[in-house]
């Protein structure tokens, strides 16, 4: 529905004077907004601006300290998600709320307010997921799914409830470009049928392409409103951060010695739904960033596990760090050789949710002076954590804040900062800017470039092609468990990489193999 179609309609949802305060932070202060039937309304702001808290208040997860909610001309006090669902409000969360040991249909059944027989529910899941271009197997166990596939479950679970208001918190952060386009078609169709949509995303191109109106939050307060299609990315960014957006600078430099080498690595996935690695070869030198693109579920999870040491290789020499065979060493021993690691799952793998930021620093930094003769040094641990918070502008109540209290983007800044400040020789990063605002994304990308300029070798796996083109010295593609040859960004294009992501790099470069010297290596020779 275009803007002229809904602007004269009575608002479906009106928030007035919403406030939510925590002991160490004001999440929302005097926030007001309204959403009409058929309107796609963006909520913009930096990480920690209060967007997710506001959405949780609407959905009944969080109780506001002040303010009113008017729903279809009736004042409501929404005290639980079940009540919100009965009103017709659905929400797709940024952080997944799935039980990993249950199947897809079991997870979805838990969120339904009525009992549906298994076969009937499974058929409905298949029907809805395929209709919206987000196919999922209802009988698959969630723990075997990639982050992108889990996001599909969250979205489909919400769509099954046929909501009148759909809240989407970073729904496309781990979707492929094709899936994003399909989702947009779905959302536009829902809007044309009268469904209201509240949409949170840090991807400004998405906001401008999809949303009719926008409310901007800064520091928990409304700092402005906008019609996204009339704005530029730069003007929207200024509204969000209150200033100009910093740019990343990748200065050409000659890489030095090989720091990470993977030699003909083949691994059968331990997950029956996973992707086995097939003859993977790569080299990363001191002072370079190798970016790896690919559609989620094509072996990224398996490659990260093999490189981090969570999955051991058949032969120690298949993976070498600083010239030493480490394929059969565990993660702690690889860290001792200079490896740091940022996984794609923030909560649970990147950080332990109920532990403080200081103790989360200890988990990976025990070998960096935080432990001496078997004794934890709390002052060193806290000082390190404070330094990460300050350098990476992590918005929190301090180093004693528990990890789960941070917004997704601020937790990501902390995890990347923690691994960066451990002075690695090789750093492996998965989805470095997933769910972070534009300002924080630039900060993280520049931090990775700075590491590279200091002589660190980096491998970055990302589904953000623009990101890889901005920060990588070389780009390769992982498709079907196979790795393409690597090329310099200037020698290829996003369209070409897109073709490779479908697994067609052998057709484009007949006889090419990632195990053969790359164009960069050939040029150096």
Two tokens, residue 372: 């001496």
pTM: 0.73
In a domain, 65, yes or no: yes
**Helix 147-159 crosses helix 177-192 at what angle (to 10 degrees)?**
10
Sign for the CA dihedral angle at 378, 380, 386, 388 comes to negative
**In terms of domains, do 433 and 504 share one?**
yes
In a domain, 502, yes or no: yes
Q: Could you tell me the end-to-end alpha-carbon distance of the chain, in angstroms, rounded to an integer?
A: 58
* pLDDT confidence of residue 354: 93
Contacts 24+ apart (CB under 8 A), 402-405: 402/353, 402/354, 402/355, 402/356, 402/357, 403/347, 403/351, 403/352, 403/353, 403/354, 403/355, 403/356, 403/357, 403/360, 404/347, 404/353, 404/354, 405/22
Are the C-beta atoms of 324 and 333 separated by less than 8 Å? Answer: no
**In terms of domains, do 163 and 304 share one?**
no
Q: Round to whole Å and give the CA distance between 420 and 513.
A: 32
Mean pLDDT by 10 residues, the chain (525 residues): 65 96 87 95 89 93 95 94 92 82 93 88 93 86 80 86 89 70 85 93 90 93 93 87 77 92 94 88 96 88 94 95 96 94 88 94 88 91 95 91 88 94 95 83 92 96 89 95 94 87 68 56 45
**DSSP string spanning 327-345?**
TT--HHHHHHTTEEEE-S-
**In terms of domains, do 189 and 272 share one?**
no
**DSSP string spanning 79-122?**
-SHHHHHHHTEEEE-SS----TTSBHHHHHHHH-SS---HHHHH
In a domain, 159, yes or no: yes
* CATH number of domain containing 315: 3.40.50.300
**In terms of domains, do 121 and 223 share one?**
yes
* pLDDT confidence of residue 379: 93
**In terms of domains, do 22 and 115 share one?**
yes
* pLDDT confidence of residue 516: 60
Residue ranges making up the domain that contains 519:
258-338+424-524
In a domain, 40, yes or no: yes
Q: Round to whole Å and give the CA distance between 405 and 509.
A: 48
In a domain, 391, yes or no: no
**In terms of domains, do 186 and 279 share one?**
no
**In terms of domains, do 312 and 220 share one?**
no
**In terms of domains, do 208 and 91 share one?**
yes
In a domain, 378, yes or no: no
In a domain, 369, yes or no: no
* pLDDT confidence of residue 124: 94
Asked which of 241, 270, 305 is the last residue of a domain, the reply is 241
Q: In Å, how far are 8, 86, 160, 234 from 37, measured between CA atoms? A: 10, 17, 19, 29
In a domain, 93, yes or no: yes
**In terms of domains, do 212 and 289 share one?**
no
**In terms of domains, do 169 and 21 share one?**
yes
* pLDDT confidence of residue 512: 57
Are the C-beta atoms of 236 and 44 separated by less than 8 Å? Answer: yes
Q: How many domains does the chain have?
A: 2
**In terms of domains, do 15 and 147 share one?**
yes
* pLDDT confidence of residue 175: 67
* pLDDT confidence of residue 521: 46
**In terms of domains, do 102 and 223 share one?**
yes
């Amino acid at each position: 529905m275009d803007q002229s179609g809904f602007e004269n309609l009575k608002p479906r949802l009106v928030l007035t004077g919403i406030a939510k305060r925590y002991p160490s932070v004001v999440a929302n202060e005097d926030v007001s907004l309204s959403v009409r039937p058929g309107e796609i309304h963006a909520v913009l702001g930096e990480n920690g601006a209060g967007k997710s808290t506001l959405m949780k208040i609407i959905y009944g997860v969080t109780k506001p300290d002040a303010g009113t909610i008017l729903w279809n001309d009736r004042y409501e006090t929404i005290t639980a998600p079940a009540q919100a669902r009965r009103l017709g409000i659905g929400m797709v969360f940024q952080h997944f709320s799935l039980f990993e040991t249950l199947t897809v249909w079991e997870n979805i059944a838990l969120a339904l307010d009525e009992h549906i027989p298994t076969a009937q529910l499974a058929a409905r899941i298949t029907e809805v997921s395929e209709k919206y271009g987000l196919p999922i197997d209802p009988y698959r166990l969630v723990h075997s799914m990639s982050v992108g596939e889990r996001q599909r479950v969250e979205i489909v679970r919400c769509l099954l409830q046929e909501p009148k208001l759909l809240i989407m918190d970073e729904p496309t952060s781990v979707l492929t470009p094709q899936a994003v386009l399909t989702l947009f078609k779905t959302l536009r169709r829902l809007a044309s049928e009268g469904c209201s949509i509240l949409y949170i995303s840090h991807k400004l191109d998405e906001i401008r392409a999809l949303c009719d109106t926008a409310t901007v939050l800064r520091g928990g307060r409304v700092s402005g409103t906008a019609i996204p299609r009339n704005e530029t990315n730069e003007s929207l960014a200024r509204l969000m951060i209150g200033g100009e957006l910093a740019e990343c600078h990748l200065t050409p430099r000659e890489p030095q010695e090989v720091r990470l080498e993977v030699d003909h690595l083949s691994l059968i996935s331990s997950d029956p739904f996973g992707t086995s690695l097939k003859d993977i070869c790569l080299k990363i030198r001191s002072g370079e960033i190798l970016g790896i693109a690919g559609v989620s579920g094509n072996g990224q999870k398996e490659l990260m596990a093999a490189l981090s040491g969570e999955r051991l290789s058949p032969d120690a020499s298949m993976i070498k760090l600083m010239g030493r065979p480490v394929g059969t060493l565990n993660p702690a021993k690889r860290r001792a050789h200079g490896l740091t690691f940022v996984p794609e799952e923030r909560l649970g793998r990147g950080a332990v949710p109920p532990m403080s930021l200081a103790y989360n620093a200890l988990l990976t930094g025990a070998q960096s002076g935080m432990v001496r003769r078997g004794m934890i040094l709390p002052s060193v641990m806290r000082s390190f954590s404070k330094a990460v918070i300050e350098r990476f502008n992590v918005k929190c109540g301090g180093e004693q804040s528990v990890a789960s209290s941070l917004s997704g983007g601020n937790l990501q800044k902390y995890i990347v900062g923690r691994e960066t400040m451990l002075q690695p020789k090789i750093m492996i990063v998965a989805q470095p800017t997933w769910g972070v605002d534009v300002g924080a994304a630039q900060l993280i990308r520049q931090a990775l470039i700075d590491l590279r300029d200091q002589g660190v070798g980096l491998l970055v796996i990302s589904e953000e092609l623009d990101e890889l083109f901005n920060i990588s010295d070389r780009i390769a593609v992982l498709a079907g468990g196979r790795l393409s040859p690597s090329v310099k960004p200037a020698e290829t294009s996003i369209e070409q990489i897109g073709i490779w992501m479908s697994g067609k790099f052998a057709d484009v470069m007949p006889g090419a193999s990632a195990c053969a010297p790359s164009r960069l290596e050939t040029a150096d020779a």
